[in-house]
């Protein structure tokens, strides 16, 4: 085989190899678009569960009872631990943030900071005692104390036969009166996904 012919053949083979390894097409989509590619827990599950379960939270009798006993005052909520007990990794912090957003957007409850972010706010307040002017310095002891704590779990059950499977998620949330330790509300959201042949 001539050298020129050999080089042409090698160039053609290289070109076919490169074209066969083309990079995937990436496009931006609306964040509310449902893109359930793997059947795993995803951002749509997190957002819809947070919205639906928060709406249920406000429709329950505990809310009207609290409002009537406290002259229409908005209850103050703190979001505690959401524990992932499912079979897969779930970013529970993202889910907690979706719940917090739904609570704030409702306009019917107040939300106070929790965890490490609360400690950061307190550290800033302490720093102001030394470095901020008297007129702008924020005082200690004036935080809104939470009336209720919201906590919960995410559980899952997987049923699989061959290449077909169903994944069942159950999200349970509980609202506890911090003063009395009474559970005033329990809510849940169930999600079932089928992965396999078209139904």
Q: Indicate whether 42 pLDDT > 60.
A: yes
CA distances from 85 to 90, 159, 192 (A): 9, 16, 16
CA distance 191 to 41: 9
The pLDDT value given to residue 24: 78
Fold designation for 39-195? Rossmann fold (3.40.50)
The mean per-residue pLDDT over the stretch 44-60 comes to 90
Per-residue pLDDT at 30 exceeds 80: no
What's the whole-model pTM score? 0.79
Tell me the mean pLDDT in the region 11-32. 63
**pLDDT tens column, 128-177:** 999 999 999 999 999 999 999 999 999 999 998 888 899 999 999 999 99
The answer, yes or no, to whether residue 92 has pLDDT greater than 80, is yes
Average pLDDT over residues 4-32: 62
| Mean pLDDT, residues 57-73 | 92
Residue, of 26 and 58, whose pLDDT is higher: 58
107 confidence band (pLDDT: 50, 70, 90): very high
Summary mean pLDDT of the chain: 87
CA distances from 69 to 60, 63, 144, 185 (A): 15, 10, 18, 17
Residue 15 pLDDT greater than 70, yes or no: no
């Amino acid at each position: 085989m001539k050298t020129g012919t050999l080089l042409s053949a090698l160039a053609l083979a290289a070109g076919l190899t490169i074209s066969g390894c083309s990079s995937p097409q990436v496009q931006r989509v609306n964040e509310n678009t449902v893109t359930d590619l793997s059947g795993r827990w995803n951002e749509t599950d997190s957002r819809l569960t947070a919205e639906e379960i928060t709406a249920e939270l406000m429709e329950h009798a505990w809310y009207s009872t609290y409002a009537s006993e406290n002259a229409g005052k908005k209850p103050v909520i703190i979001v505690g631990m959401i524990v992932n007990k499912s079979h897969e990794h779930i970013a529970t912090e993202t889910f907690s943030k979706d719940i917090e957003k739904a609570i704030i957007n409702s306009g019917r409850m107040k939300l106070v900071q929790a965890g490490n972010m609360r400690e950061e706010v307190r550290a800033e307040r302490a720093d102001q005692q030394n470095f901020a002017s008297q007129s702008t310095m924020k005082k200690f002891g004036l935080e809104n104390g939470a009336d209720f704590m919201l906590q919960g779990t995410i559980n899952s059950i997987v049923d699989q036969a061959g290449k077909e499977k169903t994944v069942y998620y159950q999200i349970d949330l509980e609202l506890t009166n911090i003063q009395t330790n009474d559970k005033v509300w329990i809510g849940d959201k169930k999600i079932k996904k089928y992965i396999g042949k078209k139904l």
